[in-house]
Chains A and B, each alone.
Chain A
């Protein structure tokens, strides 16, 4: 127990890093995932094909490989990304593929007639997408988006192998220094993740009750 109290500042710093990493990556994933969903329903075949290619490639690649690509391959191309940015990119680019698919399923659940009605009013493709189709798609995919963000937080732990000082890295370092306290450390760090996940669930449950679409 003491080991947790003594190392509380280090653990909290680790979780702060985890939260920052996850939050920025989530933002990247949300923006990119929405753009990908938009091009996957767009009328331009080349765009659709590119979106499909991206999603299928990324979804079928282990996350560790995506991390490794960002941490080792990208710097070789003379892109100076630090460990944190590499982790943000890896997590963001990876999660975007899942977000794209969730949003796309939401898009397909919006009745086609509503998109036609929007066009018939004189809205453009992007106006229709934004004000009618995506506006509803987002609402109907709030539960799956919650699960995706929870997975993202847990996936952020892989960043430890790329020298990002997030919670799991802090945990590993502490275990090395205090091998006897393994179980306490384990319990403490696990509790930290559980609290994060419960917070995300609570936020999404709140969003869900606020933004339901009656059909």
Chain B
């Protein structure tokens, strides 16, 4: 009866779940600390005791077979998915569970989705200014000025007045990146940002991401683009069946993976 409604309930709010209490000073130490994180979907144990850290300015590429939990891991970092146990701290602050504090955390963590998820009824410029105006409380003029700079940076300033549906996939994804950047995030999450793109548009998005990485943005990127990983990543994290199986530099990981599962996985993606 309200099954369809529930879907929206889940998409717009936050079920309660436990988080930890370790607290450190903002501005020092690793930016993200995950420790002992567990997450179930019904009987499925999608994240199994996941512990890792993301340093400031570090670029991590998260790689692994389909269904291994990469998207879920990404989404737990800004709590789009609540976790069952364990702790996640961001910039020394334990993840808030709900309300304004959680909204504030999310404002500091940018997220770029596979399917862009631009707001269909707003122009590209309005997409980029919504967060700064409604969440950060900036004036319209200030927000628009900054938005135009960002659109310039991702190379689509001339599309500012158009609706998302009028843009190519690559342009939409660059707009989505600008929308995240407009919040001046401490960290950006990318969940397969180029998987929905035609091949000729993949590079325009990867180029923007590479330049972000060069500029020192902290990034967690789920992608199978090895070129990007080699160019931009500091560390590759290989995930399988809800566990972090192996972590290494891109060079080490792609040339000499240690675990059998990583070897198996790489042989599959390299031979197609």
Contact = CB atoms under 8 A, between A and B. Distances in A.
Most buried by A among B105, B130, B180, B183: B130
B163 A125 contact: no
B15 A215 contact: no
Contacts of A169: none
A113 B117 contact: yes
- From DSSP, what is the main secondary structure of chain B's interface residues? helix
Interface string B83-118: 000000000000000011001111111110101011
A5 interface: no
A134 to B, nearest CB: 10
Contacts of B115: 111, 113
B9 A42 contact: yes
Interface stretch (A75-83, A116-124, A148-156): A116-124
Interface string A94-134: 00000000001001100111111111111111011101110
Contact of B103 (A48, A122, A214): A122
A47 to B, nearest CB: 10
Contacts of B10: 43
Given A112-B11, A113-B117, A40 B5 contact: yes
Interface string B1-20: 11011111111111100000
Contacts of B173: none
A139 B8 contact: no
Nearest to A135: B121
A38 B109 CA distance: 27
Contacts of A42: 9, 13
B106 A112 contact: no
Interface in A15-47: 40-43
Nearest to B133: A131
Chain A binding surface, main DSSP class: helix
A38 to B, nearest CB: 10
Given A120-B109, A122-B135, A52 B12 contact: no
A136 B9 contact: no
A108 to B, nearest CB: 5
Nearest to A47: B9
B12 A43 contact: yes
A1 interface: no
A111 to B, nearest CB: 7
B103 A114 contact: no
Contacts of A49: 2
A43 B117 contact: no
B166 interface: yes
B96 to A, nearest CB: 12
- Name the interface size band of chain A: 35 or more
Contact of B120 (A107, A116, A123, A214): A214
Nearest to A124: B103
A113 B120 CA distance: 11
Contacts of B38: none
Most buried by A among B4, B5, B108: B5
A215 B165 contact: yes
Interface in B35-83: 78, 80
Given A52-B2, A104-B5, A120 B135 contact: no
Of listed B8, B9, B15, B180, residue having the most chain A CB within 10 A: B8
Given A108-B4, A214-B165, A214-B166, A122 B13 contact: no
A114 B106 contact: no
A121 B12 contact: no
A43 B120 contact: no
A118 B11 CA distance: 10
Q: Which of A43, A104, A127 has the most CB of B within 10 A?
A: A43
A131 B264 CA distance: 46
B144 to A, nearest CB: 16
A40 B105 CA distance: 27
8 contacts: A108-B5, A111-B115, A113-B113, A114-B117, A117-B118, A123-B130, A123-B131, A125-B12
Q: Which 3 A-B pairs have the closest CB atoms?
A: A122-B107, A214-B165, A117-B117
